[in-house]
Amino acid sequence: MAFAPSNTPSAPPRPTEDIHLPDTARDLVKILVAGPFGVGKTTLIDSVSEIRPLHTEEPLSEASAEVDDLAGVRDKTTTTVAVDFGRISLPGGVVLYLFGTPGQERFRALWDDIAYGALGALVLVDSRRIDASFDVLGLVEETGLPYAVAFNAFPDAPRHHTEEQLRAALDLEACTPMVTCDAREADSSVDALLALVQHLIDRHAPEGR
């Protein structure tokens, strides 16, 4: 599976950090960055945001260890307890407001509030623990949000699965974009976001274009 979607424009250069919207801003779009606990949502927003990201991370406690599944993420020491927020400007005057959602079931009550007004979602998946993504995908589908799936390329992630096998494992429709990205790298993360944006554009394009 290719890292960068071939049908999207090249990733824009990272701008100098500025809290003000660029003068070219024309379309402001709210996007969710969703996925299970420890999949890399905070890392992705950090890598692409043109402003200083807002994080609501707290240290994992012994109490949370009883309810949060740490399988596959034993080295993780913090967790998002409300929302991550970042912003990125794309070519054509499109500005994405990125809202990272907590990945644990105990924060499900926040979902409706965070999802309100969003146009789509980028769902990060860890191929080492695909089943951990089922609940989040269910939430996104229940909300009716269009979405794209991005497999975060962890160093020890298995490489032998085919695209067809991964799509079948997640029960994705043929039209749902599925890419691989490295959430630590800005260009790779922007490519994943562009795959979602192109999907949203295609869904709203006039029929018979």
- How confident is the model at residue 104, as a pLDDT? 62
- How confident is the model at residue 83, as a pLDDT? 85
Domain boundaries, the chain: 27-64+76-204
Dihedral angle sign, alpha carbons of residues 176, 182, 184, 188? negative
Name the architecture of domain 27-64+76-204: 3-Layer(aba) Sandwich (3.40)
Count of residues for the chain? 209
This prediction's pTM: 0.79
Q: Are the CB atoms for 72 and 38 separated by under 8 Å?
A: yes
Q: Is 172 left (phi over 0), alpha (psi -120 to 50) or beta?
A: beta
- How confident is the model at residue 183, as a pLDDT? 97
- How confident is the model at residue 20, as a pLDDT? 74
Q: Is 18 left (phi over 0), alpha (psi -120 to 50) or beta?
A: beta
Mean pLDDT in runs of 10 for the chain (209 residues)? 46 54 86 93 95 72 48 50 85 93 73 92 95 92 95 89 94 96 97 97 72
- How confident is the model at residue 63, as a pLDDT? 46
- How confident is the model at residue 57, as a pLDDT? 57
